[in-house]
């Protein structure tokens, strides 16, 4: 392998430009090729971010021996097929969120990467923000005392036009769900990451209250965490104006409240509030195109270092699947009206 880790992007829609920017910015990465079934998109992405080649068939692209890792930016329910093709061609896999949309497809994605001896890294950019990492550490060290409530509120806005902007959006088959599986998955992943605990059981309601889609545009869930805390998740794409995702983490000795990575409340015994206010993802809560690239740059560079130093990426497939497993349990509870154990 050359010193730089050589990347390709499959799927040149909305999020591909963030990958293009991140690969360009990460010191150990270079972009070799792009691929989209729509030729103009593959060509434009290649031109914009300096890739030498572009393709409309990822199987053709995987034949190149100068690609080390493939960014998967296709619709969520099409991540597996690209991952399989990449892994079987000996290329590492870097997948957008959600890793995939069913348990079976995630199992296969993780297994094929293992069997092929390639790494599987995943994107959840809010996990890279400094204050979120600190909150996880503080809770892990027990500094908030016994955890009482761990809540995530994701009140987003997506217009009717957004759902019409690509035919996979808002479908069970390819989006895997709505407000939770597409947008809320970020905050659900972050809640699990910061609470430093898995969820044991969930009771939920979900429906499409206003948008003309078959999946949910709004969901609420009551959580029982394994660490004993209770929690709630509220997720929607149908409130106006939208708000940045808010996380409230309370123990009997202290509390941390964050909006994305920005501190709103800080009461941690013996730990001063960090001076830096903290990062956010831009305006992704009301505009899916307004996402900052900082988190992606971190994750792309981390993936390069994981490959160069033969270690696990920052976000593995096993940890990325936890948010999807929880969302699937929320959907099951909403459908059956029963408590679901994970
Ligand atoms: N991390 C984030 O903040 C973030 C933000 C937006 C989207 N995403 C994720 O990125 C993925 C893509 O979302 P998007 O909004 O960019 O979607 P999009 O519809 O804008 O782009 C998807 C692209 O994949 C292409 N495609 C479909 N099938 C293909 C195939 N077989 N081979 C090659 N290309 C193919 C489509 O033509 C399209 O250009 C989703 O999984 C989504 O959840 C993540």
The tokens describing 95, both together, are 């997948």
- Condensed to tens digits (0 to 9), the pLDDT of residues 212-238 reads 999 999 999 999 999 999 999 999 999
173: CA distance to ligand 1 center in Å?
A: 14
List the CATH number of the domain containing 97: 3.40.50.720
Mutate to test the pocket of ligand 1, among 96, 154, 296, 324 (most ligand atoms within 8 A of CB): 96
State the Cα–Cα distance between residues 180 and 184, nearest whole angstrom.
4
Using DSSP, state whether 119 is helix, strand or coil: coil
284: CA distance to ligand 1 center in Å?
A: 15
Q: Measure CA of the first residue to CA of the last residue in the chain; give whole Å.
A: 41
Residues 76, 142 within the same domain? no
- Condensed to tens digits (0 to 9), the pLDDT of residues 137-153 reads 999 999 999 999 999 99
State the Cα–Cα distance between residues 1 and 6, nearest whole angstrom.
9
- Total domains in the chain come to 2
Contact between residue 266 and residue 144 where contact means Cβ atoms under 8 Å apart = no
Contact between residue 135 and residue 250 where contact means Cβ atoms under 8 Å apart = no
The whole-model pTM stands at: 0.97
Residues 23, 101 within the same domain? yes
Mean pLDDT, rounded, for 71-96: 98
- Condensed to tens digits (0 to 9), the pLDDT of residues 250-280 reads 999 999 999 999 999 999 999 999 998 888 8
- Atom 7 of ligand 1, residue of closest alpha carbon: 15
Of 122, 140, 166, which residue is a domain's last?
122
> Tell me, what's the pLDDT at 286?
83
DSSP E strand stretches across the chain: 5-10, 29-35, 53-55, 69-72, 92-95, 120-122, 147-155, 199-207, 218-225, 230-236, 246-251, 255-259, 262-267, 340-341
Q: Which ligand 1 atom minimizes the distance to the CA of 168?
A: 19
Inform me whether the pLDDT recorded for 114 exceeds 90.
yes
Of 77, 105, 122, which residue is a domain's last?
122
Dihedral angle computed from the Cα positions of residues 136, 140, 141 and 144, in that order, rounded to the nearest 10 degrees: 70
State the Cα–Cα distance between residues 69 and 163, nearest whole angstrom.
30
Range of the domain at 278: 126-291+322-341
> Tell me, what's the pLDDT at 2?
55
Using DSSP, state whether 126 is helix, strand or coil: helix
Q: What is the DSSP letter of 282?
A: B
Could you tell me which residues come within 8 angstroms of residue 54 by beta carbon, excluding any fewer than 6 positions away?
33, 34, 35, 36, 39, 42, 43, 45, 46
- Condensed to tens digits (0 to 9), the pLDDT of residues 49-66 reads 999 999 999 999 999 999
167: CA distance to ligand 1 center in Å?
A: 11
- Condensed to tens digits (0 to 9), the pLDDT of residues 283-292 reads 778 888 888 8
> Tell me, what's the pLDDT at 174?
98
Q: Is 248 in the pocket of ligand 1 (CB under 6 A)?
A: no
Question: Would residue 249 count as lying in a domain?
Answer: yes
State the Cα–Cα distance between residues 164 and 178, nearest whole angstrom.
13
pLDDT confidence tier of residue 40, bands split at 50, 70 and 90:
very high
Mutate to test the pocket of ligand 1, among 44, 74, 183 (most ligand atoms within 8 A of CB): 74
Q: Is 96 in the pocket of ligand 1 (CB under 6 A)?
A: yes
List the CATH number of the domain containing 183: 3.30.360.10
Residues 136, 116 within the same domain? no
Inform me whether the pLDDT recorded for 1 exceeds 70.
no
Q: Is 288 in the pocket of ligand 1 (CB under 6 A)?
A: yes
- Atom 5 of ligand 1, residue of closest alpha carbon: 15
Mean pLDDT, rounded, for 298-311: 98
Residues 138, 102 within the same domain? no
């Amino acid at each position: 392998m050359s010193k730089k880790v050589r990347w390709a992007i499959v799927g040149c829609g909305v999020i591909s430009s963030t990958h293009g920017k991140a690969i360009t910015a990460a010191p150990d990465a270079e972009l070799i090729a792009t691929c989209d079934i729509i030729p103009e998109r593959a060509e434009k992405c290649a031109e914009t971010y300096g890739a030498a080649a572009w393709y409309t068939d990822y199987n053709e692209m995987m034949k190149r021996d100068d690609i080390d890792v493939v960014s998967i930016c296709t619709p969520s329910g099409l991540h597996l097929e690209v991952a399989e093709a990449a892994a079987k061609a000996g290329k590492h896999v870097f997948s957008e969120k959600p890793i995939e949309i069913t348990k079976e497809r995630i199992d296969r994605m993780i297994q094929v990467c293992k069997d092929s001896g390639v790494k599987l890294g995943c994107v959840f950019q809010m996990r890279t923000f400094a204050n979120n990492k600190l909150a996880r550490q503080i809770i892990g060290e027990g500094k908030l005392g016994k955890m009482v409530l761990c809540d995530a509120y994701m009140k987003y806005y997506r217009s009717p036009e957004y759902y019409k902007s690509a035919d996979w959006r808002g479908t069970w088959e390819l989006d895997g769900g709505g407000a939770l599986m597409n947008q809320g998955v970020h905050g659900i992943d972050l809640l699990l990451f910061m609470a430093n605990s898995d969820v044991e059981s969930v009771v939920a309601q979900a429906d499409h209250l206003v948008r003309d889609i078959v999946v949910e545009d709004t969901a609420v869930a009551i959580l029982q965490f394994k660490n004993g805390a209770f929690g709630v998740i509220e997720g929607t794409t149908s409130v106006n104006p939208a708000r940045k995702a808010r996380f409230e983490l309370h123990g009997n000795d202290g509390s941390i409240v964050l909006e994305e990575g920005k501190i709103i409340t800080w009461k941690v015994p013996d730990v001063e509030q960090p001076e830096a206010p903290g990062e956010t993802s831009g305006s992704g809560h009301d505009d899916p195109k307004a996402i900052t690239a900082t988190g992606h740059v971190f994750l792309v560079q981390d993936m390069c270092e994981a490959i160069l130093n033969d270690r696990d990426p920052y976000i593995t497939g096993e940890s990325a699947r936890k948010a999807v497993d929880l969302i699937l349990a929320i959907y099951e509870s909403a459908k059956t009206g029963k408590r679901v154990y994970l």
